[in-house]
Each structure stands twice: as structure tokens, then as C-alpha cells.
């Protein structure tokens, strides 16, 4: 059976042969046992409903074994035999170009070069899932191959509810992930309901089919590192950035450090993740001895080298050893997946990777104690460095939140705030999000690197033209992006699909997209798929990250994200998604995303103008109402450009009125 036929068949009528557990693949950790006997029966019934009754007797013991051994039912038997990667769009079966584009993006998320745990359908973060099981994957790909532009596919946490009649301007797919009743949104709730097979943690771009490998955040990470050094008034050359995490998105950190021009040390305990990033060129060197590491870093700093080094071990050891060796750390952070602290997101110092994996599955109570012990030790080591001048920031991965819950010394004197800011509070919020700058990304559906090079050129030309008339307030942001896009090819950022990201405001996004659409209509380039990270101006309500610089008391509300996805859906997005959970944890954030296919048509032009304008300015308006001065400036500028935009502006109150 060829690729197209296998896609079209969906769940095969005849059972495929069982598949062996591939030890060469980076697998998800075993999830802890959380279901009662009665609930385990329910989970098995839920899994078997995807298959004809004649197969239940064969599949039941197999699924029961998966649930016992891995804590989830993945249906490994149904993994396709074909290689999963982002094929050129014309290789997909189907009646709708938009649906084919979505198939391309789904397969990119599950590409072994891209996904963290591909056989468990997890893209990054330890639990950021595209689907819950392989039956869902097969059904959804089959539905997309059958779909017309008069239908919409509805997806409930990985499960395809079905194809419904709609119209050409409706989204082709609407995705929800983990949308729980609020009182059922604690970490153990996720464990339970995910094990039952009724919900999933879609993270951000994992469950919305918009991940583009570590490049997806390397640009934002580069901006963060550059502006971190600007904040401490030091050149990156001869500067040291220490952080941790090389799996999934955090693999962007050493590449960003190289682009910024500093020395980067990034700790990682999973040797497979380190090997992947090293072989892909995302990190330059790997060192597994602390004395060797200290000697290498001292030499690199003295020579003002640009180099990234993976520490093959626990990052806590580095913080402590560098304190002993009196190595000054300029910038410090952490990007381990602490939104998922008890199931593989953070590995405690003093335990090997293998010991941690065994303990988290078989003695989760003890493992939690070890993680919290490690977080306290981790924070103590960081505090010693900040006392000597290190600028430490939380990378929005819930490091400070979980450290505080562990009882670590990271609280400010008022007992309410953390000692250290979120990078959004200090850098990304006031410098980017409030002005409307966020992660605009695109994928060349042809799969042709020449198309990507052409789109880089188009985007650069558009930005340079816009910059001629840009106000002083956003000159630095514009220049950073022009520098970025000019160096994109030489930095070899592509992993998986032929994709690119840069930070742009509404004007930049609309003008770049319009230029793409024009070139597509002229045959200069092929179809382009637009998207963004949820980590953006308006897609996400996250009080410890994206909206951490909202100070009017509304940062714990989620109206903005909900309005964002509703507005995108009727303004022309090709697919939309809304999730509970993201980079800071289940129950800690609501975030929404979109995808949009540009095919060179007038319809595509109409949609991009309507949707991209709303997608950004919804967030600027909310940030403006919170009295963020940069956002007030930005929304006034948008109202001047577009007389049909009328936004409620805040009045500022004199603080002296409240003084006795």
C-alpha cells in the first residue's frame, strides 16, 4: 500500500502486526499509576471504541499491557509503516489544499528529527501531545484527506469528533485541548483524565500543529539574550549565559547564545537529547567533567569566543561548581519543563537519569520529594551568584513557581512576589508584546529550500521598507529582526519543515503575508502556511509568563485568549486551537493559536488582512487598558492608521492622590 492509500484508509479493517518497542527512539517516561481498577476498565473501553468489536479480544490484552507498563494507551501497533515528516504538499491525498497543508504540519510535529517522544505522539515538554494515540492520528489524517472546503473537522483533545458541514471561510479544523471544568485542572487531574483517554495536554504549538522545531523559539530566545545583555549594559562578547534544557524547545538556547555572540553553558541530563542537539548543530561541544568545563569556559571568556557547551549532567552541579571556581555568570536562567515537574520535566540533582525515570514511575511520592529538595539546592546556588551580580530571570517555565512551592529561598521581601523577574516582565513584555511584536512564522509547503530563501528575501525587503518610516520607539525591534532574517540561512535553523520565524507587529505581519500571497499568485513561490507561537501578544493568558507584565489585577483572567481564537475563527483562519495548559503548566494558562494557508488567491488576501490585524491588536488593546504605556502608544498608532478601529483608552491616575 502506498503513502496516499494508507492515509485514506484511516484505521485499517485488518489489524496490522504488533510493533516492537524501539529502544533507539527517545520515549516518554512511564506515567504514574493513578487509575482505580474500575477506571482502568473504563480507559480500556474508551480505547477499544475506535475498533470493530471483532478486534476487541485481540487488542484488549495489548492495550492493558500498555496501560500497565507506560501509564497510557498509545496503540503502538497502529503506528504507520511510512516515514513521518513534512512532505511537499502535493504528495498528500485530498480535495482541499488547506487540508493538505494541515496534514503537512501534523506530520512535521511528529517527525523524529522534530518531536521529543515521537512514538508517544509528544512533540516537546515531556507531555506536549499532538494526539493521545495512533488511532486518532490515523482517523484525523483520513478525515483531512476526504475533506472539502465546505467542511470543518472538530477535534476534542486529539479525538476527531467528525467532519461537519460549514463554508469556505470557516476554519477547516477547530482544535481544543484539555479544556476542563476549572475545578478539575490540577496536575493529578491531567494525569487521571489523560490516562482515561478523554483529554490531553496539547502544550502550545504541539496540539495545534504549528511547531517548527527549536527554531520556533530560537528567535525569541536570541532577542531575550541580546536584551538581557543590554539590560546589564554589557556586550555579549566575553559574556557568559548559563541555563539548562536541551530537549524540545529548550534546545534553542545554545543556538540563540551563538547568534547573540556569548559563551553559553546549557545543562541536560538526558544523553539522547544532548546527542540529538549536538548532531543537529544546535550546540557546539559536549563536556561531562566539571573541572574540564570550568577550564574551557574560562578560556572561552578570556578569548571572547562565541561558543555553546552542553554540560552532560545536572545544571545544579554547574551553578555550584562555578561558584566555587569564582566564574562570573552574567545571565542565568532555566528552561527545563517545570510545568511538568513530577513526570520528566525536571530531574533532581544527585540522581542519575535512569534512577529518576524509575523512581517517578514506581515511587512518585519519593520522586516529588527529591525534585523539591533539588529545587531548593538549585535556588540556593543561584542566589549565591546573583549576590555577586548575576542577572537571573525566570524563563516562563514555572521554575520560580515550583521552587516557591518547594520552599526555596526565592520570594521577595513582601512575601508575594518572586526575587527574580519573568523575562516577559523585564524584556519581552515591555520591549516586544506591548508594541505588538511577536513570533510570526511561516512554512513553505513545497518543501523547497529555494522557496524558503525567497521568502526570507521578501520578508527582509518588507521590513527594511517599513523601517524607513518607523517611530523611534520600535527602531531597535525592527533592526533586530532585519539582522535576524539576513543571517537566517547561514545559521542553519531548519529542522523538519522549510520554516522561518521572526518577530513582527501587525503592520509587518500583514505586509509580509501580502507580499507572499502576491508572489504565490505570480508563481514565484509555492503555497505558504502562516502561523505563530501561542507565546505572543494576544493568544495567551498566562500570569507567570505572557501576561506577567499586566499589573491591573487582570493577569489571572483569560478573556483575551478566548476572544483571540473566536475572532481568528470568523476572520479567516484555516485552523484554530484553544488549550488549557502550556509552557507553565496545566491549569496555569489558557492559550490559543491559528494556522492560515496562503494560496495566492483574492480570498487569501482578504482573510489575511482581516485576521492578522485582529490577532495582534486584540492583545495590544488589552495591554493598553492595563495602563501599559508602550501598548497605549501602539494602539493609538494603530487607530491613526485605521480609522475604523476605536479602542477604549485608560486614564492614568496620579499616585500622589493616595498618599496621606
* Edge-to-edge strand list for the sheet holding 285-287: 285-287, 307-312, 263-268, 240-244, 331-332, 391-392
Beta strands in 496-639 (DSSP E): 499-504, 528-532, 540-541, 575-580, 590-598
Q: Which residues, in sequence order, are bridge partners of residue 532? A: 440
Going from the first residue of the chain to its last (660 residues), give the mean pLDDT of each consecutive group of 10, the final group possibly shorter. Answer: 95 95 90 95 98 98 97 97 97 98 97 94 91 98 98 98 97 97 91 96 94 83 90 95 84 89 96 90 95 98 98 97 98 89 91 93 94 97 97 87 94 89 87 94 97 96 95 92 87 88 95 98 98 92 92 95 97 97 88 97 98 97 97 97 96 92
Residues annotated within a binding site = 125-126, 203, 268, 395, 583
Residue whose C-alpha is closest to residue 599's, from 511, 522, 497, 504: 522
Burial 552-588 (b: 16+ CB within 10 A, else e): eebbeebebbebbbebbbebbbbbbbbbbbbbbbbbb
For the chain, how are helix, strand and coil distributed in percent, rounded to 5? Answer: 45, 15, 40
Q: 281: which 3 cell numbers?
A: 548543530
CA dihedral over 629, 631, 635, 641, signed as positive or negative:
positive
Place of cell 503513502: 3
Q: Which residues contact 615 (CB under 8 A, 6 or more apart)?
A: 506, 509, 532, 538, 539, 564, 567, 568, 594
CA dihedral over 500, 506, 512, 513, signed as positive or negative:
positive
Place of cell 518531536: 115
Assigned CATH class of 3-196: alpha beta
* Per-domain residue ranges of the chain: 3-196, 214-421, 430-649
Fold agreement between 3-196 and 430-649: yes
If one looks up domain 430-649 in CATH, what number appears?
A: 3.40.1770.10
CA distances, 275 to each of 177, 251, 271, 283, 514 (Å): 31, 11, 6, 9, 40
At residue 142, the 3 state secondary structure works out as helix
**Predicted local distance difference test score (pLDDT) of residue 250:** 67
For residues 377 and 282, what is the distance between their CA atoms, to the nearest angstrom? 29
How many CB atoms are located within 10 Å of the residue 167 CB? 9
**Predicted local distance difference test score (pLDDT) of residue 323:** 98
Assigned CATH class of 214-421: alpha beta
At residue 112, the 3 state secondary structure works out as coil
Identify the DSSP state of 535: S
Q: Which residues, in sequence order, are bridge partners of residue 540? A: 591
How many CB atoms are located within 10 Å of the residue 473 CB? 12
Chain centre to alpha carbon of residue 220: 11
Residues annotated within a binding site for NAD(+) = 125-126, 203, 268, 395, 583
Place of cell 482502568: 40
* Residue 546 · residue 533 · CB < 8 Å: no
Q: Which residues contact 447 (CB under 8 A, 6 or more apart)?
A: 86, 87, 88, 89, 497, 498
Chain centre to alpha carbon of residue 625: 27
DSSP-derived secondary structure for 477-518 = HHHHHHHHHHTTTTTT--SSSSEEEEEE-HHHHHHHHHHHHH
Amino acid at each position: 500500500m502506498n503513502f496516499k492509500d494508507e492515509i485514506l484508509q484511516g484505521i485499517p479493517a485488518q489489524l496490522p502486526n504488533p510493533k516492537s518497542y524501539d529502544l533507539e527512539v527517545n520515549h516518554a517516561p512511564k506515567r504514574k499509576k493513578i487509575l482505580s481498577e474500575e477506571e482502568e476498565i473504563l480507559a480500556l473501553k474508551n480505547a477499544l471504541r475506535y475498533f470493530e468489536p471483532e478486534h476487541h479480544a485481540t487488542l484488549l490484552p495489548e492495550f492493558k499491557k500498555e496501560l500497565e507498563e507506560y501509564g497510557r494507551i498509545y496503540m503502538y501497533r497502529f503506528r504507520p509503516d511510512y516515514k513521518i515528516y513534512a512532505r511537499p504538499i502535493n504528495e498528500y491525498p485530498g480535495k482541499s489544499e488547506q487540508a493538505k497543508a494541515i496534514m503537512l504540519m501534523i506530520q512535521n510535529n511528529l517527525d523524529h528529527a522534530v518531536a521529543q517522544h515521537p512514538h508517544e505522539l509528544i512533540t516537546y515538554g515531556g507531555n506536549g501531545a499532538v494526539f493521545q494515540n495512533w488511532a486518532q492520528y490515523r482517523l484525523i489524517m483520513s478525515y483531512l484527506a476526504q475533506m472539502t472546503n465546505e467542511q470543518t473537522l472538530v477535534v476534542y483533545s486529539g479525538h476527531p469528533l467528525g467532519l461537519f458541514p460549514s463554508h469556505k471561510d470557516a476554519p477547516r479544523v477547530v482544535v481544543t485541548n484539555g479544556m476542563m471544568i476549572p475545578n478539575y485542572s490540577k496536575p493529578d487531574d491531567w494525569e487521571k483524565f489523560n490516562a482515561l483517554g478523554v483529554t490531553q495536554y496539547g502544550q502550545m504549538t504541539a496540539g495545534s500543529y504549528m511547531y517548527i522545531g527549536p527554531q520556533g523559539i530560537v528567535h525569541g530566545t536570541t532577542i531575550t539574550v541580546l536584551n538581557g545583555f543590554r539590560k546589564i549594559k554589557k556586550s555579549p562578547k566575553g559574556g557568559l549565559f548559563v541555563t539548562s534544557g536541551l530537549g524540545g524547545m529548550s534546545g534553542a538556547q545554545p543556538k540563540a547564545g551563538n547568534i547573540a555572540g556569548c559563551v553559553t553553558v546549557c545543562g541536560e541530563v538526558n544523553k539522547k537529547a544532548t546527542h540529538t542537539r549536538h548532531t543537529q548543530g544546535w550546540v557546539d561541544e559536549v563536556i561531562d567533567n566539571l573541572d574540564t568545563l570550568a577550564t574551557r569556559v574560562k578560556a572561552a571568556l578570556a578569548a571572547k569566543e562565541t561558543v555553546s557547551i552542553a554540560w552532560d549532567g545536572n545544571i545544579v552541579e554547574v551553578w555550584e561548581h562555578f561558584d566555587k571556581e569564582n566564574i562570573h555568570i552574567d545571565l542565568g536562567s532555566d528552561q527545563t519543563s517545570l510545568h511538568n515537574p513530577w513526570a520528566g520535566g525536571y530531574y533532581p540533582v544527585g540522581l542519575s537519569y535512569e534512577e529518576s525515570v524509575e523512581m517517578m514511575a514506581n515511587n512518585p511520592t519519593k520522586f516529588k520529594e527529591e525534585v523539591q529538595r533539588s529545587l531548593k539546592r538549585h535556588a540556593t546556588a543561584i542566589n549565591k551568584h546573583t549576590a555577586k551580580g548575576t542577572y537571573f530571570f525566570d524563563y516562563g517555565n514555572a521554575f520560580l513557581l515550583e521552587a516557591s512551592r518547594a520552599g526555596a529561598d526565592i520570594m521577595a521581601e513582601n512575601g508575594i512576589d518572586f526575587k527574580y523577574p519573568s523575562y516577559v516582565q523585564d524584556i519581552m513584555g515591555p520591549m516586544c508584546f506591548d508594541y505588538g511584536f511577536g513570533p510570526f512564522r511561516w512554512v513553505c509547503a513545497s518543501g523547497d529550500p529555494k522557496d524558503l530563501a525567497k521568502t526570507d528575501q521578501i520578508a527582509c525587503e518588507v521590513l527594511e521598507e517599513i523601517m524607513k518610516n518607523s517611530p523611534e520607539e520600535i527602531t531597535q525591534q525592527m533592526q533586530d529582526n532585519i539582522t535576524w532574517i539576513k543571517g537566517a540561512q547561514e545559521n542553519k535553523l531548519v529542522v523538519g519543515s522549510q520554516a522561518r520565524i521572526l518577530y513582527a507587529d501587525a503592520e509587518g505581519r500583514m505586509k509580509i503575508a501580502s507580499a507572499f500571497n502576491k508572489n504565490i499568485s505570480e508563481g514565484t513561490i509555492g503555497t505558504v502556511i502562516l502561523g505563530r507561537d501561542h507565546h505572543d501578544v494576544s493568544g495567551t493568558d498566562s500570569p507567570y509568563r505572557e501576561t506577567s507584565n499586566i499589573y491591573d489585577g487582570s493577569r489571572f483572567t483569560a478573556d483575551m485568549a478566548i476572544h483571540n481564537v473566536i475572532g481568528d475563527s470568523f476572520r479567516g483562519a484555516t485552523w484554530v486551537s484553544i488549550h488549557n495548559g502550556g509552557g507553565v503548566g496545566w491549569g496555569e494558562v489558557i492559550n490559543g493559536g491559528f494556522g492560515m494557508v496562503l494560496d495566492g488567491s483574492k480570498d487569501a488576501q482578504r482573510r489575511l488582512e482581516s485576521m492578522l490585524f485582529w490577532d495582534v491588536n486584540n492583545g495590544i488593546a488589552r495591554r493598553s487598558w492595563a495602563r501599559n504605556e508602550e501598548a497605549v502608544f501602539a494602539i493609538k498608532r494603530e487607530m491613526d492608521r485605521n480609522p475604523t478601529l476605536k479602542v477604549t483608552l485608560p486614564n492614568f491616575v496620579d499616585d500622589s492622590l493616595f498618599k496621606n
